[in-house]
Structure 1
Amino acid sequence: MAVRKACEAGPGRRVHMFKITRRGALQGAAGLLAMPALVEKANAQSAFDWKQAKGERLEVSLTSNPRSVILTQNQKEFEELTGIRVGSEQIPEQQHRQKFAIEFATGKPSFDIVGISLHVNKRQVGRAKWCADIRPMMADASITNPDFDFADFSEGAVAYSTQSDGRMDTLPEFADPWIMYYNKELLAAKNIAVPKTFDELYTAAKALTDPSKQIYGFVGRGLRNANVVLWTSFLLGTQQRDTVDGSMKLITDTPDAVWAGQMYQKLMRECAPPGSIGFNWNECQTSFMQGRAAFWIDGPGFAAPLEDPKRSRVAGKTGYAVAPAGPAHHHGALFGTGFGISEASSPARKKAAWLYLQWATGKQNQLRYLTGGAGAPARMSPFKQEEALRGAVFSMDYVNCLSDALKICRPGLPEIVPVTEFRDTIGTALTNMVGGADVASELKRATDAFRPVLEASERAT
């Protein structure tokens, strides 16, 4: 299967596919670290047989993002190492989630390996047992490279990949701690310090907003569904810190939730660009790249375009900081992805798939993620590779920010099956807030609307 990418499309719109040719900073960093000769040398010194599944073919289904680009750009390295052929596809996340769920439900998915957004689909995948338990594979010395070093994965990433029954049905790929991007030039012009709290962020954003010059203090996700993860970023700073309790009781209309909604409303209504009610991450990125926004809170994987002088007006002017603190706690939102092996694949293909996962999540590719600005790897060793990091296209400020963010982050979404419905319902309330609706009333209405959905989902467990 050819490497493909699908354009973003709304409901009912056709999704067009086209070939990816991502260049620039990502390619440079990936090329710098592409060392197949060293891989072959290391393999020659090891008793582990990388070619034990030679001749097999794997189909890999990935979400479109900078990390998937790195893997597909270096895919030949794996093929030469193992003799396994790989067909891979990249599809935007919303369409990808729908696609793999539909295919899994048929019992005959077209892929052997799938990238999974654990903050969205973890419980769904785990309940249906769509993916194989990886722990027995790791315990099998005949198919697991002794240099795999599972202990190198961060504790939080491993917890994200582990189901409540103890099955580990994905291998951690990426830990996505949200950070705050800021425009150094705009802050310096008004002698404004980097905010440490959300209250300070609002004050600074308000002071930097100048519509007459098309400069705005803040840009963030306003699009329904996508906007929920910004609201939960604020909620994590309160005493509540979650949207459901351990018994799956919904708690989204409390005073803490209302505070988070009011902070969201103020920033989006008073400090964000016109039209931001329809912004997802890509529109936010474009506004920030154009130098029109002072602050942006989002995932760390968007740094590469910001630092590309051919595309960005803020290249060399972008600062990186951990998310601000709330009134009770200092926690940034954490999201994560993992790779699953289809339970429907044959034993031979599962073995080949396990070899692919070891390569894909190996230390070299994880370091490529970090040096290429593709976000925070699930492993901790890349943060210690000072020589490689000095040669990267990103400053140590970015690297240190990610390392610090991983220390304070907490899950940004509840681990429930109807997480998409949750985001749609709460997202509608947030959209109405940007339009000027009362925060407490909107959250009460959304909570009442979603409660039976969650209860029905739990009864089906």
Structure 2
Amino acid sequence: MSRRDVLRGALAAGASLTLGGSLSSCGSRGDAPRTAGGDPWRQFRGATLNFISENTAPTAAIAANIRPFTELTGIDVSIVTLELSALVQRVALDLASGQAQYQVIYADPYQVLAPYHKGLVELRSLQNDPNLPDLPGGLTDFIPTQLDAAGRFVDREKVYALPYDAPTMIWQYRRDLFDKYRDRMADDLGFDPTPGGDRTWEEYFQLAQWFNKNATADVPYGTGHQARQHDSLMNDFSNVLWSYGGDYFDNGKEVGRLGATDPGPCRLGSAAAIAGAEFYNRLLGIADPASTTWDWDGVGAAFRSGRLAMCPNWHEFAASNEQVLPGKVGYAALPKGPAGTANMYGGTGIAISANTLPHERGAAWLFLVWATSPETQLANLKSKAGGGTPTRTSVYELPEVRAAERRPSSMPNMLTAAAVRQAWQPDRIGLRPKIPMWNECNTAVFTQLSRMLTGGTSPEEAMRSITSRVDRIVARGWVA
């Protein structure tokens, strides 16, 4: 089961949740009701909120168990879930309309927050409102890098979204097969084959090749990748790019963490970036040939089916892995290259449309506070309808969460905790450019990478072609 499959299982429970649908409750444009005084959590009872989200693990968990929020506030929540590209289109149209069909928005940092941040509420105004509940733990309880990457754009003093999910790419491997063959691999290859951030990408290549040649009775391929001509390919490649010292722009860490409206010239034509592309092309040459047809769900399904000994993938697939291969999977930080290690972060925040009316805005704030609270994040972590992993430091410090890092675990995503802690370190986290025109740049990246992988162009030609295309996109600027 993929996390999309799990999500679909939540449709019958909790919130009114529609896959790709429209909301029937949006015909009128009146503000939400408000009753002054009394319990601040009940002041907007009778209101209805519409939440548009990508079909992600925490949204599945919330949809399956929305009743606690409704009982706390008297507010009904309708949830529309879409694939990300469709969500971006829907949000852009809604923000441009001047109205708020969707009061609460899953604000992808690169395709929603960066280009449309002016259409989102600056959340400190609500956090400072004495009539509204405070964020438990305040903003400082959120993991700092994630608050910047998912919640801010350029200006450190403004917060447009609260960190909601935190998928991060890590090394997932068949622990049972590594245990079985460890001594043989060590003798044949001359190094400790234990996966982790101390292994190099060259060693990863050798491990994959060893499985291809020596363990086909147990597993057909040593590695597989999410290398379809799709956003997934950019994610998979970027881990290698950064570890080889390449980057999309100068000051890549800052452009990824806080963002930029004008990032300057593209740097994918550098010697380091080309070296990363050459290695990635060579690695895909020994990977499962179906890799060029897979996104993250595809490679995740192949791994769970026993087709791959290892793969880079988002850490939240651990919940599905443990259902199908209980106790047989290990998790580690991705390998390092000549410049270190990098683990792509794919987290997103939830935001409020600036088109909301005053009481709608207050009701939406209640939902943001509740949905990102430690209590809800802990419930999501335990949920069988999706899960997700916390974005708050305090949740990771809870004794029951600490205990779940070891098998047997009632919170299988926590089995990745040691790996993601390493991956989230400021010098290891991988942050793609947070710029308003990233969506178009991203398309240029994965289109040319796909040509490279299918033999249509060389790594150097692909990198130089992407550089030229991205420079033209950036020079054009962005007009919302």
- TM (norm. structure 1) is 0.84
Q: 2-side partners of 1:178 and 1:403: how far apart? A: 12
1:307-346 matched pairs, under 5 angstroms: 307-308=322-323, 312=324, 314-346=325-357
Q: Residue type of the partner of 1:384?
A: E
- Aligned equivalent of 1:194: 194
1:381-420 matched pairs, under 5 angstroms: 381-388=394-401, 389-390=403-404, 392-394=410-412, 397-407=415-425, 408-420=427-439
Kept after mapping to 1: 8 A contact 2:108/2:349: yes
Helix, strand or coil for the counterpart of 2:204? Answer: helix
Kept after mapping to 2: 8 A contact 1:100/1:109: no
Q: Deviations over 1:268-299 (max 9, x none)?
A: 121x2222212101110110001111121122
From 384, 387, 393, the counterpart of 1:380: 393
Q: 2-side partners of 1:19 and 1:403: how far apart? A: 26
Q: Deviations over 1:97-121 (max 9, x none)?
A: 2221222222234210011211433
Q: Does 1:368 align with 2:383?
A: no
User: CA shift at 1:307, angstroms?
Assistant: 1.0
Q: Deviations over 1:50-90 (max 9, x none)?
A: 11111111111111011110111121110000011111111
- Aligned equivalent of 1:141: 130
Identity %: 22
Aligned residues: 416
Q: Does 1:209 align with 2:180?
A: no
User: CA shift at 1:396, angstroms?
Assistant: 5.6
Helix, strand or coil for the counterpart of 1:147? Answer: coil
Q: Residue type of the partner of 1:322?
A: A
User: CA shift at 1:445, angstroms?
Assistant: 1.7
Q: 1-side partners of 2:400 and 2:332: how far apart? A: 23
- Aligned equivalent of 1:162: 152
The 10-residue stretch of structure 1 (209-218 or 152-161) with the greater mean CA deviation from structure 2? 209-218
Q: Deviations over 1:229-252 (max 9, x none)?
A: 111111221334444557421111
Helix, strand or coil for the counterpart of 2:41? Answer: coil
Q: Deviations over 1:246-271 (max 9, x none)?
A: 7421111111111221222122121x
Q: From the superposition, tell whether residues 397 and 56 of structure 1 become closer, same or farther in structure 2 (CA, over 3 Å).
A: closer
Q: 2-side partners of 1:418 and 1:273: how far apart? A: 33
Kept after mapping to 2: 8 A contact 1:334/1:409: no
Q: 2-side partners of 1:88 and 1:286: how far apart? A: 27
Q: Deviations over 1:127-164 (max 9, x none)?
A: xx111110111112320236353321111122121121
Helix, strand or coil for the counterpart of 1:100? Answer: helix
Q: Does 1:20 align with 2:8?
A: yes
Q: Residue type of the partner of 2:374?
A: K
Q: Does 1:122 align with 2:113?
A: yes
Q: Deviations over 1:341-365 (max 9, x none)?
A: 0111110010000000000000012
From 46, 52, 55, the counterpart of 2:43: 52
Q: From the superposition, tell whether residues 343 and 225 of structure 1 become closer, same or farther in structure 2 (CA, over 3 Å).
A: same
From 250, 263, 277, the counterpart of 2:266: 250
Q: Residue type of the partner of 1:81?
A: L
Q: From the superposition, tell whether residues 236 and 156 of structure 1 become closer, same or farther in structure 2 (CA, over 3 Å).
A: same
Q: Residue type of the partner of 1:360?
A: A
The 10-residue stretch of structure 1 (91-100 or 341-350) with the greater mean CA deviation from structure 2? 91-100
User: CA shift at 1:452, angstroms?
Assistant: 0.8
- Aligned equivalent of 1:3: none
Q: 2-side partners of 1:260 and 1:240: how far apart? A: 7
Q: Residue type of the partner of 1:278?
A: T
- Aligned equivalent of 1:39: none
Kept after mapping to 1: 8 A contact 2:7/2:56: no
- Aligned equivalent of 1:236: 242
Q: Residue type of the partner of 1:259?
A: A
- Aligned equivalent of 1:111: 102
Q: 1-side partners of 2:413 and 2:161: how far apart? A: 31
Q: Residue type of the partner of 1:194?
A: T
Q: 1-side partners of 2:320 and 2:212: how far apart? A: 24
Kept after mapping to 1: 8 A contact 2:319/2:413: no
1:31-70 matched pairs, under 5 angstroms: 49-70=40-61
Helix, strand or coil for the counterpart of 1:209? Answer: helix
Kept after mapping to 2: 8 A contact 1:418/1:457: yes
- TM (norm. structure 2) is 0.80
Q: 2-side partners of 1:22 and 1:75: how far apart? A: 11
Q: 2-side partners of 1:381 and 1:307: how far apart? A: 25
Q: Deviations over 1:305-327 (max 9, x none)?
A: 1111xxx2x33211000111121
Helix, strand or coil for the counterpart of 1:50? Answer: helix
From 454, 459, 472, the counterpart of 1:435: 454
